[in-house]
A and B are shown apart, each in its own frame.
Chain A
Amino acid sequence: MPATKKDDDDETVLSLSEQTNRPADVALNQQRIAAWHPILDPVWVIIALFYLGVIMVPVGFKMQDLSNGVVELRKTYDSFDDPNLRECGINTTYNARRKCSLEFIATQYMEPPILVHYELTNFHQNHRDYYQSRDAYQLYGRSSLQQTSLEASLCDPLNKLGNVWLNPCGLIANTFFNDIFTLESGQDAEGNTLNLIEKGVAWASDIEFKFKQPDGFAMEACENPTPNNINADGTTSTSCDPDCCLAQTRTDDTAGLTNQSWSCSEPAVHPDDGKCYRYHYPDEEITQYLYETYPDVVNPLEGVTNEHFIVWMRIATLPTFRKLYGYFNEPIAKGSRFTIQVEANYVVESFKGSKSIIISTNNIFGGQNPVLGRTFIVVGFICIVSGLFFTMKHWLRPRKLADTRYLHFKED
């Protein structure tokens, strides 16, 4: 019918210029951006799983091998649980200064650097109350006296004991692991005396950005900076000329301090240059400084910048943890013996833990670590097993991809 046809043509499309509202025909708006539509094809997945398994299991074994190749010498010298391992136990006496020697025999040739870690168990540095108990401002040099209430609340309960401020305050700083390890005897592979290096055990960034001697701290080389190494009783130790602190002879006043304010009872030897210095801490009378709490470990010239202390202040994640104490930079021959003297000051009985000393070499992944390899092997096996399972299924009762039989069209 021509008439009806004419009627049907009434759907007049506007001319393009009139289509002012027409959406832009771009891929973004029309959701036409090219896309990849991947499908988890079981065949490919099976292949991938096998590949993964085949790669991972050997790699895991190799990693375990690597890990086993690391020479690790370990001595637990105080333990709550095992009385046999209390070679250097000190029960409940803090700062007992019990000295004992631990002898190590290198089971293998040990490559430098050989790290000396101490390990504590069952010590929850990660306990929330412990972990936050510090005053970052104070550690960065601000005086305890300027603590805000918030910082004080963080340091609770160790802000002040009686009338004495603690600097640094807080639980972490005042439970510092203060056992002292010194190399008693030992030779490297070339027959030279071993040297236990204790410098550089902390993060450089921590030393730089987080720890500073308190504002007002001053130190000054003594007039006679060389310590005399012979005591009156004939034993060797380092001590400085006590006159240095009195400093009657000095007239210059570099730190703006009068002679009286050099408040130390005796000058200290600087660990770096081995010279004698006199020093000044602010508010000494009402403040307990770190070097006062741990006189054997912390040099008053270092204070909170002591690297052992900085290492301790970096909180461990787990209740069993290792921290770096020092390292040997010389190789040790297989079978050679060396002795480390421990001065036990730190009580582990009070937290039912143990302490050990671990001397180990390193591989590319660090120290001896069986977890990595084991994980690889386990995951690799899981891959292979699931791959096998899928293969069986695919072989015995395959579900063909894109099989329309599984489509149900209409619900009844």
Chain B
Amino acid sequence: MGKEKPEIEEKDRVLVTGRPATHRPDNKVVTSRYTAATFLPVAILEQFRRFANLYFLCVGCIMAIGYYTPAFDSAINPWTTLGPLGIVVSFSLMVEASADIKRHKNDEETNNATCVILRRTEELEAEEGAERDEEMADGKDVVVDVNTTYMRAGDTAVDNRPEKPKGDSARISFQKVRRMDILQGQIIVVKNREMVPADMILIASSSENGSSYIETSSIDGETNLKLRTSPHLPTKLLRHLKHGTPMDEMEPIAEGDEDDFSGGTETLEEATRRVSRFSSLCLPKGVCVLRNPDYKGVTTLDDAGNDGGDEEGMFSAFKPHMVEAVKKYTDKDVPVDKNTKYVATLTSEPPNPHVNTFTGKMTLPPVEENGECWDIPLGAENILLRGAVVRNTEWVLGLVVFTGTDTKLVRNSFETPSKFSQLDKLMNQTVLLILMLMAVIISYLSTQSVVTTRRKFDHLWYVGLNENTSEPWPYLPDMDAPAWVPTQKNWVQMFFLFITLLNNLVPLSLYVTVEFVTYCSLFWVWADLDMYCDQTNTRAVARSTIITDLGRVEYIFSDKTGTLTQNVMRFKRCSVDGMMFGSPITKSKPGADEAPASEFHPLKRLLVGNVKLPMASGLQGLGASSGEYEIKADKKLTLNAEMFIRVLALCHTVVVEKDYDMKKKKAEDGGKPAETAPMVLGGPQGPDGAPLGFAYQAESPDEGALVSAASKTFGFQVITRDSSGIRLCVKCPSHLRDPAIVSALKDGSKTLLSLAASSATNIDYSDSPDEEVEVVTEETWEILAVNKFDSDRKRMSILLRAPSELGSLPVLFCKGADSAMLDRDVCTGLPAEDDDAKLAQRAFSRAAKAIETQLYIVGATAIEDKLQVGVPNTIATLENAGIKLWVLTGDKRETAVEIGYSTHVLTDKMHLTQVPDNGEGHVRTQMSMEFIRLVKLGKLPLYQRSIVDEEEKMSWTSIKFSLGKCYRAFTRSLRTCFYSIFFTLGIWKDWAEGKLEIIKEEEKGEELLVPDRVRMKRVRDRADEVIKDWLKSAEGVRQRRKSAHQSHVSVDDAASLASEEVPRVFSRATSARNMLSSLSVEGGLSQNERRSLSLAHVTAANASRDDDGPIVDEDTLSMASFFPDPKAKTRGDFDRRKRTLLERLFAVDRDVRKGKLMKHMNSERLATILEQQQHGPGINVPAPHDGPRALVIEGAALKHLLGDPELEEVLFAVASNCEAVIACRVSPKQKALLVGLVRKKVIPEPVTLAIGDGANDVGMIQEAHVGIGISGKEGKQAVNASDFAIAQFRFLESLVLIHGRWDFFRLSTVVLFSFYKNAVMVGCIVVFSGQTIFSGTPLFDEWTISVLNFICGIPIVVLGLFDQTLSKEYVRKHPETYHATRDNETLSMRMRARWVLICFVHIFTIYYMSVNPHQYGGGYTSAFDGLMASGFEQIGDGEGGDHKSVGLVAYTNVVSVLALKVLFEGKALVHGHWPAFTCRKDVGEGFFSRVAYTWHGVIWGTFVFYIFFISVYSILGRGGPSPWSDFVEVGRHVFTTRVQTWLLIMFTPLVAMTFDVVFKVFSNMFYPTQTQLHLEIECNQRLDRTLFERDMALSSRQSQQSQQVRSEVQL
């Protein structure tokens, strides 16, 4: 189990109740990954699936082969690579092992927990070691008298009926088993507060009607209690089962009770008896009822399948294959005859991971002669899933459906697919690149080696090369010839040798370092106080390692409910009888109508009804009759008000949990809820607004808010609610107590509408005297049917029967979204037809839409969902950081826009384009117009005519495109050949065929692939075409006539050009033309072209064509180019060519206005801008001249655009130009789809971030690069799917701007440095190999090579942990600094080129300054004579030109250059406090904060560690010959005997860093990066804060002045 996949079974399953299905998996669940035997092989294999480990293993193996076999030589000892690799791998293995041991322990605990099942006593007693549970039923058996009658296949005549064997009984006992031994088909008992051990069908419980409450927090994270019910059995059947009497002997059922579902409460014994009566427990030889020839399910499959288009498919579940299944698994050999006893059978869906659905049916045998089998439908409300906890119920009996790996919980638990960050991708790409580079270098060196050796072959005798193998060794001429090597090593041998020599070019430490730094970054996230929510005691949690992607976010997709808003619902306002109650509306949207506060009344006034006001004009649709009217001041509710409150109190699916507070005190007491005196109005309240002692567990918070409001504010308190009814405690008198009203309603003589009108205008009911007194009454409303809320209907309804004292009227209450309700004229009301209980079963659900009609609206509610704290600020900050925000919400457009304004997603300055769903043509045209408009404004330069119409030229992109095409075609053909061989040979035919199919599909996709330019042209043409078509259509023509200066589709286009844009087209055109002439003077434009651009002419023609005025904007102008207008003479001139020019002009003009092309600016504007710049404050944000844009689009409208590749591109081109996009009325699926489309369609692929809190955001969260879950109220599903979990939306600022940004800088530096580090070392080796006839001698000692990763890994890790590119405060103040990471500043081509360049410079610096001085011989130096006597014993000790010494000098230089380079790469040198050991009382300054992480400590620590390593290594060889003896005492000689060495060691890093600094300063002077500028600004601020503040004061005064100047200019 565990990893292995459970048997795939797509067909429905059949279980015989009470009979364990031994062929199905048992209930053992294994989450551990390894066993003791498999751990080593499997875990090690797993380790070597990582690229780096595999690489070094391969290299190590190559080295070992070279070292121990004569095939080729290894340049260095294999253990220098295998050793460190072993350390790294064994560390990972240890981590893995400890985690798995933990899992093993957990598994054991879970699997060995005990559980109680029902068994036949004789079986139990026969079985050895079976243990009886003593607690259940006091350890006694339950005796069931088996009634044979109903078990029979009653298809025969009466005389065939056998004698009823009296006293035939079965004994059932309770067995205690381990949880893992539970099998499907068994019946188990679960007690209160126990975990359900396997998925089971609830068949009985201690509660009324066999219902049970469960808590499912470990499944979906929702903490509210949920009601689960036993399947509803028809009364007949139920009675039979209960009493065990045959049908014909039973007393006839009373007429009224026929539809009585309620089984009442049962004891455990009773329930056991009832349940086992139809199971194999009583009838061990019973046959599966499905084989009953009378069973209609089998024979009339098609009929069942077409049963009125049943959506649930409950009854169509039985399919032909079932017959086989039945035969296969149940009673294989038992023949069916007339005397066969049948047992109940469960048919269920196959195991699946969907925790919220279940379909199945229970088939019970007929209970009477010629009776039919009973098919009891089962749904999700009948199933208890493994992992759920039984609550508020003493015990439950369940039939196990799925066990072990079949359970929904196990099926649903999948490891979230690991995401790769962009940095990971870059790392892998770079490693690949380095491998290729390595191949090139190695090939070069090998070739050089072969060539040079061949050239010098004759005089290389001293390395053992000689063609004449009989020649004696020169010094030993009298002896036999040595084993000369007559030929040099061949190319391949040298290739492998150099692989071993240069393997370190791929840094072994890279992955380890990056992983370590990443994990620490995750710790920083977790430990950040800024992201700690002190209201919910929640920290931010990082669940995935893709932290660097946080630094590159371009798009944020946000859910609304629970993310931007708190999802804490408050009943704010309501409207009944045309009057508004509650607090007044405050303005959120600019220009929104503000209702006068005087029109609102306190909520409590609703109960009084003595309000006298004219009806609010806006609410005339809400049912009440129009006109002015009065309500009598009689302290009575109107009928409408009463009904309104009743809807609140009754129409819901809330679960009432009693003694909420008492439960808190003693949690173990979970028995029957104590009867608490109902608290009423004004009483103390529980934490969720419910009265004390009650907790309303609502599925959605707004439902809870409504119920709480009814209970708390209006005095209609819900006391209990179960599947059968709702008990209310009512403080107010009811209109329904009046029999006249009831009867009038019953006979239909009066409608509710008329009654309400009359009650509102004050009549009859107020006379009854007893109602003058405030009486608290309790009433029980019987639930006939619940039609649950679903997102399609957007409403729920409930069918209730009023208590008898209220006339037993059946009432349908309905509530829902206003659009859904008003569309159908629904809000709440009474049914027109008489109730029919049977309707409630499934006909009801099917007929839901039909029933919820002709309803009467009693009122409207307003629930407020408050914004989360800090949302508007966060959104503004993120917007300043250049992140585009998409809000994806299920709300309607108006709400979405409102929320948009209140959260600052939308701002006043934004040009808002709303795309409602009003037809395909409309939506498409609107998007196309918007697209073209943006093109004309120059915002989408790639789609301009000048670009798309340009001739296809040979460019790098086109070459790349065709090369790619060729390459793919080539690989495809190769693969086709490969798989065809298998296919023709017939080996693995299916597999090969599948692969061939895939290739064919790829081929098809290839055909669709076109070069970018062609694609863009198509898109542009398509958009033009859409607009043209629309203009030709009738609607278009009408619109055009209507207004020329307004845009043709969207209503708000008049505002498309922000008011600041003073120069209108004419002036702009003039300036543009001036510019054009200046261009043509320079020779850029021919005379002809210039003449053809009769711009003024065009615009004038357009202007005169319409009477609406001379204002002609770009849109109109562009419109004019689309439709062929016979009157306009400009048509001939205005061809495509000119349009292109026009577009260019607009773009240029726009640039001028934005201040980009200063020399074309008119003088005043230039003056303004210059002034701004000179006197500007620290950072001078230029006012946006082109208004930002926003798009509001409906989900339904999206459907018209998605699916068409060109229109999709139009959509995303437009959307990518918008600062904010709000998509409203989108489904969860559409959310994910949108994220995916943005990833795919926006080029280059942007990094996307999705944030949400609910299960409906899971798709989106997983689809985005970075998924963030709000660990809030709606459960854990979003969090479980997310990469990061934060408690509030506002923490996104910290997460993205601070952590994401820092970590991107840190990790990209770490990665770059890791590559650089090894490149420097290997570079020196490569340069040196030229001195050794390319024989492959390493410059450095082989063991020192292998420790470079450790030594130089330390400082870079410290940088990765502590560097701070700009401080938190600065970044918060200037979110625009985020551009740098988003634009990939540290990893840009320029930066990477700089790293490569500096790498080369450093290689040559180190090499020439370490090696070359030694060609003159080190020589004895007199300086240390006597100074370092210890290291200097004889004159030869001063010699230092040998290979080991020079290598060590060079290596020391490498180490010091690298350590210093780290220092220069860090933007903040963390030094803690100095001096480090003072005991200054500084809050929160721990010892580690002060000392351990100082840069000095790290840099010098690195050196100290290095010297320590060298000393130890130098000593190792003292003990005699060993792998290290070559190095014995080398360290001492190098460091203690020569001044020259020290000169080189100190001087080389200085020179190297000088080059580095020169490069940096050069770069900063000429091409400063944005981050560099910000660093300088921040530095200035730090240097002189007071000066800065003075500047600020000064500049603010000046900016005021300049604003004045500007406004004057504008005037």
Which segment, of B210-218, B1038-1046, B1416-1424, faces chain A?
B1416-1424
Partner of B1539, one of A365, A368, A409: A365
Contact assessment for A402 and B1577 in the assembled complex, using a CB-CB cutoff below 8 Å: yes
Contact assessment for A209 and B1520 in the assembled complex, using a CB-CB cutoff below 8 Å: yes
Contact assessment for A157 and B1472 in the assembled complex, using a CB-CB cutoff below 8 Å: no
With an 8 A cutoff between CB atoms, is A117 at the interface? yes
Q: Interface code A49-83, partner B: CB below 8 Å = 1, 0 otherwise?
A: 10010000000000000000000000000000000
Q: Measured between C-beta atoms, what is the minimum distance from B1228 to chain A in Å?
A: 29
Partner of A316, one of B1441, B1493, B1579: B1441
Partner of A314, one of B1368, B1383, B1414, B1442: B1442
Q: Which residues from A are CB-within-8-Å of B584?
A: 1
Most A CB within 10 A of own CB, among B1181, B1412, B1442, B1562: B1442
Partner of A21, one of B472, B537, B1154, B1564: B537
Which segment, of B235-243, B407-415, B456-464, faces chain A?
B456-464
Contact assessment for B537 and A407 in the assembled complex, using a CB-CB cutoff below 8 Å: no
Q: Interface code A119-139, partner B: CB below 8 Å = 1, 0 otherwise?
A: 100111111111101001101
With an 8 A cutoff between CB atoms, is B1333 at the interface? yes
Q: Which residues from B are CB-within-8-Å of A22?
A: 529, 532, 534, 537
Contact assessment for A200 and B1435 in the assembled complex, using a CB-CB cutoff below 8 Å: yes
Partner of A39, one of B869, B1379, B1566, B1576: B1576
Q: How large is the interface on A (under 10, 10 to 19, 20 to 34, 35 or more residues)?
A: 35 or more
Q: Which residues from B are CB-within-8-Å of A28?
A: 1486, 1488-1489, 1493
Most A CB within 10 A of own CB, among B475, B866, B1383, B1490: B475
Q: Which residues from B are CB-within-8-Å of A29?
A: 524, 527-529
Partner of B1180, one of A123, A200, A404, A410: A404
With an 8 A cutoff between CB atoms, is A115 at the interface? yes
Given contact pairs A31-B1362, A201-B1436, A205-B1528, A115 touches B1419 in the complex (Cβ within 8 A): yes
Contact assessment for A33 and B1362 in the assembled complex, using a CB-CB cutoff below 8 Å: yes
Q: Which residues from B are CB-within-8-Å of A199?
A: 1434
Contact assessment for A127 and B1414 in the assembled complex, using a CB-CB cutoff below 8 Å: no
Q: How large is the interface on B (under 10, 10 to 19, 20 to 34, 35 or more residues)?
A: 35 or more
With an 8 A cutoff between CB atoms, is B291 at the interface? no
- CA gap between A386 and B1562 in the complex, in Å: 9
Given contact pairs A11-B869, A409-B1182, A39 touches B1471 in the complex (Cβ within 8 A): no
Given contact pairs A27-B1485, A40-B1564, A317-B1442, A209 touches B1518 in the complex (Cβ within 8 A): yes
Which segment, of B145-153, B480-488, B1011-1019, faces chain A?
B480-488
Q: Which residues from A are CB-within-8-Å of B479?
A: 161-162, 164, 288
- CA gap between A371 and B568 in the complex, in Å: 78
Which segment, of A98-106, A182-190, A274-282, A318-326, faces chain B?
A318-326
- CA gap between A347 and B472 in the complex, in Å: 15
Contact assessment for A136 and B1529 in the assembled complex, using a CB-CB cutoff below 8 Å: no
Given contact pairs A21-B538, A26-B1484, A204-B1433, A362 touches B1529 in the complex (Cβ within 8 A): no
- CA gap between A27 and B1528 in the complex, in Å: 45
Q: Which residues from A are CB-within-8-Å of B1482?
A: 27
Given contact pairs A128-B75, A402-B1580, A209 touches B1525 in the complex (Cβ within 8 A): yes
With an 8 A cutoff between CB atoms, is A350 at the interface? yes
Contact assessment for A401 and B1576 in the assembled complex, using a CB-CB cutoff below 8 Å: yes
Contact assessment for B1415 and A321 in the assembled complex, using a CB-CB cutoff below 8 Å: yes
- CA gap between A175 and B465 in the complex, in Å: 13
Q: Which residues from B are CB-within-8-Å of A294?
A: 475
Query: Chain B residue with minimal CB distance to A410?
Result: B882
Q: Measured between C-beta atoms, what is the minimum distance from A412 to chain B in Å?
A: 6
Q: Measured between C-beta atoms, what is the minimum distance from B1035 to chain A in Å?
A: 34
- CA gap between A153 and B473 in the complex, in Å: 18
Partner of B1469, one of A35, A125, A322, A360: A35
Which segment, of A12-20, A234-242, A260-268, faces chain B?
A12-20
Partner of B1436, one of A20, A125, A202: A202
The residues in B between 1338 and 1395 inclusive whose CB is less than 8 angstroms from any CB of A are 1362, 1364, 1367-1368, 1376, 1379, 1383
Contact assessment for B528 and A157 in the assembled complex, using a CB-CB cutoff below 8 Å: no
- CA gap between A128 and B1368 in the complex, in Å: 54
Contact assessment for A372 and B1540 in the assembled complex, using a CB-CB cutoff below 8 Å: yes
Q: Which residues from A are CB-within-8-Å of B819?
A: none
With an 8 A cutoff between CB atoms, is A352 at the interface? yes
- CA gap between A202 and B1413 in the complex, in Å: 21
With an 8 A cutoff between CB atoms, is A113 at the interface? yes
Contact assessment for A307 and B475 in the assembled complex, using a CB-CB cutoff below 8 Å: no
Q: Interface code B1487-1521, partner A: CB below 8 Å = 1, 0 otherwise?
A: 01110010100000000000000000000011011
Given contact pairs A201-B1435, A364-B1422, A406-B1573, A25 touches B529 in the complex (Cβ within 8 A): yes
Q: Measured between C-beta atoms, what is the minimum distance from A361 to chain B in Å?
A: 9
The residues in B between 468 and 507 inclusive whose CB is less than 8 angstroms from any CB of A are 472-477, 479-485, 497
With an 8 A cutoff between CB atoms, is A256 at the interface? no
With an 8 A cutoff between CB atoms, is B1551 at the interface? yes
Given contact pairs A37-B1468, A362-B1421, A404-B1577, A126 touches B1331 in the complex (Cβ within 8 A): yes
- CA gap between A202 and B1411 in the complex, in Å: 21
Query: Chain B residue with minimal CB distance to A368?
Result: B1416
- CA gap between A288 and B480 in the complex, in Å: 12
Partner of B1573, one of A293, A307, A317, A402: A402
With an 8 A cutoff between CB atoms, is A394 at the interface? yes
Given contact pairs A23-B532, A31-B524, A209-B1517, A402 touches B1446 in the complex (Cβ within 8 A): no
- CA gap between A411 and B1184 in the complex, in Å: 12
With an 8 A cutoff between CB atoms, is A379 at the interface? yes
Most B CB within 10 A of own CB, among A11, A140, A142: A11
Q: Which residues from A are CB-within-8-Å of B1154?
A: 412
Q: Which residues from B are CB-within-8-Å of A130?
A: 462-464
Given contact pairs A136-B1521, A318-B1331, A39 touches B1442 in the complex (Cβ within 8 A): no
Contact assessment for B475 and A293 in the assembled complex, using a CB-CB cutoff below 8 Å: yes
Q: Which residues from B are CB-within-8-Å of A20?
A: 537
- CA gap between A358 and B1441 in the complex, in Å: 15
- CA gap between A317 and B1331 in the complex, in Å: 9
Q: Which residues from A are CB-within-8-Å of B1446?
A: 317
With an 8 A cutoff between CB atoms, is B1439 at the interface? yes
- CA gap between A127 and B457 in the complex, in Å: 13
With an 8 A cutoff between CB atoms, is B1265 at the interface? no
Contact assessment for A37 and B1582 in the assembled complex, using a CB-CB cutoff below 8 Å: yes
- CA gap between A10 and B484 in the complex, in Å: 92
Q: Which residues from A are CB-within-8-Å of B1186?
A: 412
With an 8 A cutoff between CB atoms, is B1578 at the interface? yes
Query: Chain A residue with minimal CB distance to B453?
Result: A127
With an 8 A cutoff between CB atoms, is A390 at the interface? yes
Q: Measured between C-beta atoms, what is the minimum distance from B332 to chain A in Å?
A: 59
Given contact pairs A320-B1415, A379-B1551, A288 touches B1575 in the complex (Cβ within 8 A): no
Q: Measured between C-beta atoms, what is the minimum distance from B601 to chain A in Å?
A: 12
Contact assessment for B528 and A30 in the assembled complex, using a CB-CB cutoff below 8 Å: yes
- CA gap between A319 and B1201 in the complex, in Å: 74
Q: Which residues from A are CB-within-8-Å of B482?
A: 157-158, 161
Which segment, of B269-277, B969-977, B1171-1179, faces chain A?
B1171-1179
With an 8 A cutoff between CB atoms, is A42 at the interface? yes
Contact assessment for A1 and B583 in the assembled complex, using a CB-CB cutoff below 8 Å: yes
Partner of B1332, one of A35, A37, A124: A124
Partner of B583, one of A4, A19, A33: A4
Q: Which residues from A are CB-within-8-Å of B206?
A: none
Contact assessment for A362 and B1422 in the assembled complex, using a CB-CB cutoff below 8 Å: yes
Given contact pairs A1-B583, A26-B1485, A127 touches B463 in the complex (Cβ within 8 A): yes
Contact assessment for A317 and B1411 in the assembled complex, using a CB-CB cutoff below 8 Å: yes
9 residue pairs from A and B, CB less than 8 Å apart: A23-B527, A39-B1579, A126-B1332, A126-B1335, A128-B1337, A139-B1521, A161-B482, A376-B1547, A406-B1573
Complex A-B, nearest 4 residue pairs according to Cβ-Cβ distance, in ascending order: A366-B1419, A162-B480, A200-B1434, A205-B1529
Q: 10 extra interchain contacts, Cβ-Cβ under 8 A, other than A22-B534, A29-B529, A412-B939?
A: A14-B537, A27-B1489, A34-B1470, A40-B1564, A202-B1436, A206-B1529, A314-B1442, A368-B1416, A369-B1416, A404-B1173
